[in-house]
Homo-oligomer: A and B are copies of this chain.
């Protein structure tokens, strides 16, 4: 009776939107140029998205969902703390290295007013729950100092993301050339483990 939607079109739109935002910023993304780049009519975009904001929010949600799935790979709740943390570091680093534009976009989006309307939706998601259980078990097993989950996350992962960010930019905080090496990442993980272990 009715014609099916061509999901390739939606994907093409999202893909080019991501690329443009990373290269030109949010104010460099126009619907008409995006349509041209994705090879569709401007009106087609409005079949798949309510408006520009909806497109941006969906773009973020698609990648966030995908990312949340990725970082839990090979993670076993019965793992000891150090192994589990190392696995999560590897997953997060692999993802960011493989998809630097996606990582850049997701972090950039965080500073956007649109982010506020997404934040509320992610409450009670599977990834957050799994991490929470992992941390609580490690504390119970005396492999991790007792602390609020936010303190844990900040000490455990913020240093990694910072290194990955500088690596993407190619400069450190002083504007000097910077390239992240495996050795540096291992050294940083070791320091983080030293901080967190009892």
Residues of A within 8 A of B (CB): 23-29, 104, 107-108, 111-116, 119-125, 128, 131-132, 145, 147-151, 153-155, 158-163, 166, 169, 171-176, 178, 180, 184, 187-188, 191-192, 194-196
Q: Report chain B residues within 8 Å CB of A125.
A: 174-175
A188 in contact with B151 given A25-B26, A108-B111, A174-B128 (CB within 8 Å): yes
Min CB gap A151→B, angstroms: 5
Q: CB distance A104 to B111 under 8 Å?
A: yes
Instruction: Decide yes or no: A174 and B120 within 8 Å by CB, A28-B113, A151-B184, A162-B158 being known contacts.
Output: no
A115 to B165, CA, bound (A): 13
Given A23-B113, A154-B188, A184-B148, check contact A122 B174 (CB 8 Å). Answer: yes
Contact partner of A191 (CB less than 8 A), chosen from B150, B160, B184, B195, is: B195
User: A173, B153: Cβ atoms under 8 Å?
Assistant: yes
Q: Which of A111, A171, A172, A173 has the most B CB atoms < 10 Å from its CB?
A: A111
Check B113–A191 contact: CB distance below 8 A. Answer: no
Nearest B residue (CB) for A172: B150
Q: Which 4 A-B residue pairs are closest in the complex by CB-CB distance?
A: A128-B174, A195-B195, A108-B111, A123-B175
Instruction: Flag if A150 contacts B122 (CB, 8 Å).
Output: no
Do residues A151 and B163 form an inter-chain contact, with CB atoms below 8 A?
Answer: yes
Closest to A163 in B: B154
The distance from the CB of A26 to the nearest CB of chain B, in whole angstroms, is 5
Give 10 A-B contacts (CB < 8 Å), ordered by A residue.
Answer: A25-B113, A122-B174, A123-B175, A124-B174, A131-B174, A149-B174, A150-B172, A151-B163, A154-B159, A194-B195
- For residue A156, which residue of chain B has the nearest CB? B159
Q: Are B128 and A173 in contact (CB under 8 A)?
A: yes
A119 contacts B169, C-beta separation under 8 Å: yes
Chain B residue at minimum C-beta to C-beta distance from A107: B111
Complex CA gap A31/B160 in Å reads 38
